[in-house]
Structure 1
Amino acid sequence: MEFNQIETRIDEIKTDEVIGLENDLELMSISLEAEVPEALYIGMKDFISGNENWDQSKLISSAIANFLFQNGSEDRAVIEKYLNDIFNL
């Protein structure tokens, strides 16, 4: 095997790993604790109680994706989350 072939194979393996990682990102989650102003908490609680398809996790996740997208994130997972939430998918 020539050096160029080895180098190409290494690039293919790295690409496969990145694609696998991107797919795994949709399945991964972390616990997050944050202090928010009371007005935001009340608004969030009222929204969730009036919309049965939403929960606290989905709302926070959507808000973060919205913020990141509107501030220039080009991450595919962020863009997908943003668009899915806009179109209620």
Structure 2
Amino acid sequence: MAVHVSVENQFPEDLYEAMVAFIENHPEWDQYRLMQSAVAGFLFQQGSKDPAVVRHYLNGLFRRPGPQGLQSRGCEIG
């Protein structure tokens, strides 16, 4: 099972409002999935070759609703 950590951050209000609007228009996403995808995407685009970063990046892209709720193809984010 993957270990999770809690992170607190302050966002500019307009960025926060854009995040809220995105989540409202994409009910399959939540704040946790959005932030995990954003961090993994940034690290991947900056050249990270860490297999965990690549896995989280790809899971964020291809995760979709299934019969039991949100699921991903292949590896599941713990």
TM-score (ref. length: structure 1) = 0.66
Higher RCO structure (Cα 8 Å, ≥6 apart)? 2
Equivalent residues, number: 64
Render the CA deviation track for 1:2-57: whole Å, top value 9, x for unaligned: xxxxxxxxxxxxxxxxxxxxxx4xx2111111111111100100111111111111
1:87 to partner: Cα distance: 2.4
Which residue pairs with 2:51 in the alignment? 76
Once superposed, which parts of structure 1, at least 4 consecutive aligned residues long, lie more than 3 Å away? none
1:87 aligns with 2:58: no
- Root-mean-square deviation (CA, aligned residues, Å) is 1.2
The answer (yes or no) to whether the contact 2:33–2:60 under 8 Å persists in 1 is: no
Gaps of 5+ in 2: 64-71, 73-78
| CA–CA separation in structure 2 for the residues paired with 1:55 and 1:84 | 14
The answer (yes or no) to whether the contact 2:23–2:30 under 8 Å persists in 1 is: yes
Matches within 5 A, 1:1-89: 24=1, 27-88=2-63, 89=72
Gaps of 5+ in 1: 1-23
